[in-house]
Structures are given as structure tokens and as C-alpha cells.
Amino acid sequence: MRRGGGLRVVSGLLHARQRQLMAFLLQGDTAINDHICEQGTAAKSVRLGIYANAYRKRLQETLESDHPVLGSYLGDALFEEMTLGYIDNCPSHRPSLRDFGEQLPDYLRSAEPFSRHPLIAELASFERLLMTVFDAADAQHLALEELQGAPAALWPRMRLRFHPSIRLLRCDWNCVQVWQALRAEQVPPPPTEGHFHWLLWRNRERLTEFTSLAGAELVAVSTALDGADFSELCEALLAIVPAEQAAGTLVQLLQTWIQRGWLSGIGDSG
């Protein structure tokens, strides 16, 4: 005797109603009306409208929570215009709200009037990256003694393993400086175009940090993140520092990275 047939039917009906409800919320499809029970004096369309408004309000609150500094930069009116436009153009398709705003930077790059000001999209990207860094996987932190104890024969082939929270951000505008000023409740600097590089990570106390990168450190970090070993890192530094200083400069950088908690281990590229 087959069992569970009734359960499958109920489950199928539930999924169908869920799809119809989402179709109403996202496209205004009214097919769900036929499956709403009469209750009280409020019409079914009114009750559905209340639910839809609450749903959109919850999505707006999610963007407000994820992007507080972006909200300060835009002001209330423009931020509301942004959230409503984003909800209409990039509807949520996942049960969790954590990733609802993941398309926001792309939306801001293409939607008027925000696309006329590229710094806005970069500001959104930075705030989302802060969330990504905070939520990154855990991993051990490399100890200085482990690096010092590496066999001499390993050093030329030594490849660095970065902590999972490490993210390198390249910006064309001074979005991080603007973010810092607004976060400190100060007047932000005017938008300035340029070449900016920032490294973000979660420290040993599980706090998110970031620092600007330039010169030898930028070359070393970007090259190491691409998978280069120690000898290849030294070669990359030759474009910036004298040959006799390349290895020493890199060792000093490694010590700093270990202190900051950027590294989780070392390996052999051979």
C-alpha cells in the first residue's frame, strides 16, 4: 500500500500558493485572490495590498540596515527612490534577506540619476564588502614562529595562504574616504577620481578592518593573492625596490601581515 500520497498533494498545493503569492508581490498577478478566504469587512484585494506594502517595507528596511552610510550620503528622498527602484528592478528570489542587496552596486551603475555619479555605486560596493568580510569563514591565523621555522629550502617555493576574510578592493573614486567621513559624522570630501586600493579583513577579535595599500605592499599583496610563491614575489618587487632589498622588504611585509592576521598558513608551490 502506498503511503504519503496525501502529504505530497498538500505539499504541492502549498508550493503552488507560495508561487502565486510571490507572483502577486513581484508582478502584481492576482491569481492568488481566488485562494484568499473572506475575513472581516476588508476586501481580499485590500488585505493583499497591506501584505504587499509590508513586504516592500521590509525590503526597504533591509537596504537601510545594510547601507547606513550610503543612506546618509544620498539623503532620505534619494535613498527612498533608490530602494523602491531597486525593489522593482531586482526582486528578491531567495528566502534569506542577507543577499537581497547583492545587485545594488550594479543597479546604481545603470539606473538614473545614480549612474551619473559613479562614487555612489562604489560606496555601495564597499559597504557590501564589509558585510562579506564580516561573514567570511573562520580559519587559523599563521604564527610568526611557524614562518620562522620554515626550512630554508622551502622559502623560494613558499606560497602564502590568506585568511578567508581577506578582500582587495580597487576603486576609481575616493569612496572609502567619503565613507569614513560620514561614519564619523563629518562633512565628506568632494568626489575625487583616482586609483585607490584597500585591503579589508576580519581581525582576531572578529572586528572588520581595512587599510589603504600602495607601493611595494600593494604589489606584494596583489601578486600573492594571485598565487605567486616567494621567489615570484621577490621578482615582482624588483620593479619598485632595489634587487638587494627585495627579499628583506618582503620578509618585513610578511611579519606585518602576520601581526594583522592576514595569513592563515604557508604551503609549497612545488
User: Do 108 and 217 lie in a common domain?
Assistant: no
Half-sphere exposure of 202 (CA within 13 A, CB side): 17
Retrieve residue 199's grid coordinates: 585591503
- Residue 26 domain flag: no
Which string of b and e fits 169-189 if b means at least 16 CB within 10 Å?
bebebbbbbbbebbeeeeebe
- Residue 15 pLDDT more than 50? yes
- Residue 236 domain flag: yes
User: Do 140 and 264 lie in a common domain?
Assistant: yes
Least confident of 22-26, 173-177, 179-183, 230-234: 22-26
User: Do 156 and 252 lie in a common domain?
Assistant: yes
* pTM summary value: 0.83
Half-sphere exposure of 59 (CA within 13 A, CB side): 27
- Residue 125 domain flag: no
Give pLDDT tens digits for 164-189.
999 999 999 999 999 999 999 999 99
User: Do 244 and 209 lie in a common domain?
Assistant: yes
Number of domains comprising the chain: 2
Amino acid at 26: L
Distance CA 255, CA 144 (A): 7
- Residue 95 pLDDT more than 90? no
- Kindly report the CATH number assigned to the domain that includes residue 261: 3.90.930.50
**Max Cα distance, the chain (Å):** 85
Q: Residue 268 belongs to what H/E stretch?
A: strand 263-268
Distance CA 191, CA 188 (A): 9
239 contact partners, CB below 8 Å, separation of at least 6: 219
User: Do 111 and 153 lie in a common domain?
Assistant: no
pLDDT for the residue numbered 13:
54
User: Domain boundary at 57, 81, 116, which?
Assistant: 116
- Residue 14 domain flag: no
- Residue 18 domain flag: no
User: Do 161 and 242 lie in a common domain?
Assistant: yes
For the chain, the first-to-last Cα distance in angstroms comes to 61
Give pLDDT tens digits for 104-151.
999 999 999 999 999 999 999 999 999 999 999 999 999 999 999 999
Residue 5 pLDDT grade (very low, low, confident, very high; cuts 50, 70, 90):
low
User: Do 158 and 74 lie in a common domain?
Assistant: no
User: Do 111 and 175 lie in a common domain?
Assistant: no
- Residue 2 domain flag: no
User: Do 164 and 252 lie in a common domain?
Assistant: yes
- Residue 6 domain flag: no
User: Do 52 and 148 lie in a common domain?
Assistant: no
Domain that holds residue 221: 136-268
User: Do 140 and 50 lie in a common domain?
Assistant: no
Report which of 143, 24, 144, 150 is spatially closest to residue 91, judged by C-alpha positions.
24
What value, to the nearest 5°, has the Cα angle with vertex 66 and ends 63 and 68? Answer: 90
pLDDT for the residue numbered 3:
53
- Residue 140 domain flag: yes
User: Do 157 and 245 lie in a common domain?
Assistant: yes
pLDDT for the residue numbered 10:
45
Identify the sign of the CA torsion 249, 251, 254, 258. negative
